[in-house]
A and B are shown apart, each in its own frame.
Chain A
Amino acid sequence: MTLYWEEEMETLPRVGLESIQLKRLQHLVARVYKTVAPYREKMDAAGVKPEDIQSLTDLAKLPFTVKEDLRDNYPFGLFSVPMDQVVRVHASSGTTGKPTVVGYTKKDIETWSGLMARALTCAGATSSDMVHNAYGYGLFTGGLGAHYGIERLGATVIPVSGGNTKRQITIMKDFKSTVLLATPSYALNLAEAMESLGVDPKSLSLRVGVFGAEPWSENMRDEVERKLNIKAVDIYGLSEVMGPGVSMQCLEGNKGMHIFEDHFLPEIIDPDTGEVLPPGEKGELVFTTLTKEAFPIIRYRTKDISRLMYDTCACGRTLVRMEKVTGRTDDMLIIRGVNVFPSQIEHVLMGIEGVEPHYQIVVSREGNMDTMAVEVEVSEDIFSDEIKTLENLTKRIQADIKDMLGVTCKVKLVEHKTIQRSEGKAQRVIDNRKL
């Protein structure tokens, strides 16, 4: 039997849902036009007025919002309420330049908590659960966003945040944590630490893991499920739209995450032309918030690649599902006609014991052929004094990449710390093709 948090909204017939969406959208556009100058200027330049939104498809008339718009209006220029109504801000670290800042009114926090509770319910969590929240607390939306949702659900929250893995495992054991919230890579860290500490995951009370905040592959899901002896489900969100709880995988359905469409309107566009794509096609995910007060956003280009699935789900929810994000538009590479995302390479590497995620992808063109080389730093864990062992490692990485992406690449081991680390994020791709 499916558990719902707000059964009526989650199972609304599409027609009913769409009429609510339209009403909310019209209200939102009118309010944003009135209160946020940069939106008004963009709409005026595009020659579109709030009254032009007569149906949901009219959304396409509105200009897109991109990350640069947030930076240009740093810190509070896109807020739609006076600051005395803002009760919280969050910020995401920019890889280049200024961070982007978002804000929430009291009601926004309530909405968010409710949606997060809804998301946790999708994962089968109830008020009797002991929820181990290992998302980072702070400016990042993950920790606090999840925290409020867990409390709203009525479950017990362990605000453990990230780090100190050994202590986390002790807490998990002693407090009998039943639900784990973390990034998938941290979940793997936990699993590996348990292994080295001799803690059998079967001796824990963990039942389900809610993982998000970074793209992760199905391979990684299998690995986490096997290593932690849990069911691993996907949560999606981004601070520009709200934070975690924009969409959530259900336990009953096989794939995809239900978008909480009564609050967020999704579109899939062609990342090159900006054109809206028909249902089911793969492209860039775009979100418009329907109920946010402090920081509403119109047609925000997430750069995440996904697909919308409107077929009915076994859980009974009528909310559309988005496919697991497989990559981002800004780092997609096309190698011999195959789309390759650095994140996919990263997941392959992270699946190999001892390999650290310090790597670089070098793309070149030899004659008419694209070639891809993956350079991997040699850590002490994988280093061996025997050539054979290192050669076997490069062969294994090569085979795993071929399995996952269908692309043959060269794997080159490089010395420790030779791959540039800038502001904590390495430059992942060097494209030497002269196109």
Chain B
Amino acid sequence: MRVEQIAVFLENKSGRLAEITAKLAEENINIRALSVADTADFGILRLIVDNVEKAKATLKANGFTVGITNVIAVEVADKTGGLAGVLKTIEKEKLNVEYMYAFVNKSGENAVLIFRFDDMDKAIESLQRTGYTILSGEEICAL
């Protein structure tokens, strides 16, 4: 139940993000979720897209340094306390979060939380045991 995420190295130069989204749009690649983590010098763009291989090839062809990592997508109701509930579980199960970001699906009812844990297997087991829905890549694209 892992989702493949594309990560792209970015120098903090203006226009790079727009360039990436434009290149992907040209290839009809749909971006489902996006987050940028940055420091003073560089940033890492993380993307969930509907065609990982094609997106990777497109970005590489345009000179970007690209990596693919596995993340976990957890669906929660988009209401107060939705995120807090997941975080509580994470704390209780002593899971280490490397990073997370979120997006809301089209209907606006549910939020999808994207997590990267240091121990992914343990995280999947814990979250499923406590009743959370973990989405597959296809499910995210179908949202």
Q: Give the docked Cα–Cα distance between A379 and B5 (Å).
A: 18
Given contacts A391-B39, A412-B41, contact A385 B65 (CB under 8 A): no
Pair A385/B39 contact, Cβ less than 8 Å: no
Contact of B65 among A386, A388, A415 (CB under 8 A): A415
Give chain A residues whose Cβ lies under 8 Å from the Cβ of B38: 387
Pair A418/B11 contact, Cβ less than 8 Å: yes
Pair B44/A416 contact, Cβ less than 8 Å: no
Contact of B42 among A380, A413, A416 (CB under 8 A): A413
Taking the complex as formed, is B103 at the interface, i.e. its CB lies under 8 A from any CB of chain A? no
Q: Give the docked Cα–Cα distance between A383 and B44 (Å).
A: 10
Given contacts A385-B44, A387-B44, contact A379 B65 (CB under 8 A): yes
The majority secondary structure among interface residues of chain B is: strand
Taking the complex as formed, is B28 at the interface, i.e. its CB lies under 8 A from any CB of chain A? no
Beta-carbon nearest neighbor of A385 in chain B? B7
The majority secondary structure among interface residues of chain A is: loop
Give chain B residues whose Cβ lies under 8 Å from the Cβ of A385: 5, 7, 44, 46, 67, 69, 99, 116
Contact of A413 among B41, B46, B116 (CB under 8 A): B41
Taking the complex as formed, is B37 at the interface, i.e. its CB lies under 8 A from any CB of chain A? yes
Pair B67/A383 contact, Cβ less than 8 Å: yes
Pair B10/A415 contact, Cβ less than 8 Å: yes
Pair B65/A390 contact, Cβ less than 8 Å: no
Shortest beta-carbon distance, B72 to chain A, in Å? 14
Shortest beta-carbon distance, B49 to chain A, in Å? 14
Taking the complex as formed, is A414 at the interface, i.e. its CB lies under 8 A from any CB of chain B? yes
Q: Give the docked Cα–Cα distance between A308 and B64 (Å).
A: 48
A-facing residues in B100-128 (Cβ within 8 Å): 116
Pair B98/A413 contact, Cβ less than 8 Å: no
**25 A-B contacts (beta carbon < 8 Å):** A378-B9, A378-B42, A379-B65, A383-B7, A383-B9, A383-B65, A383-B67, A384-B7, A384-B44, A384-B67, A385-B67, A385-B69, A385-B116, A386-B44, A386-B98, A390-B44, A413-B9, A413-B11, A414-B42, A415-B9, A415-B11, A415-B64, A415-B65, A416-B65, A418-B11
Binding site for B on A (CB under 8 A): 378-380, 383-388, 390-391, 412-418
Not counting A390-B42, A418-B11, a sample of 10 additional A-B residue pairs whose C-beta atoms are within 8 angstroms of each other reads A378-B65, A380-B65, A384-B44, A386-B99, A386-B116, A388-B98, A413-B9, A413-B42, A415-B9, A416-B64
Binding site for A on B (CB under 8 A): 5, 7, 9-11, 37-39, 41-42, 44, 46, 63-67, 69, 98-99, 116
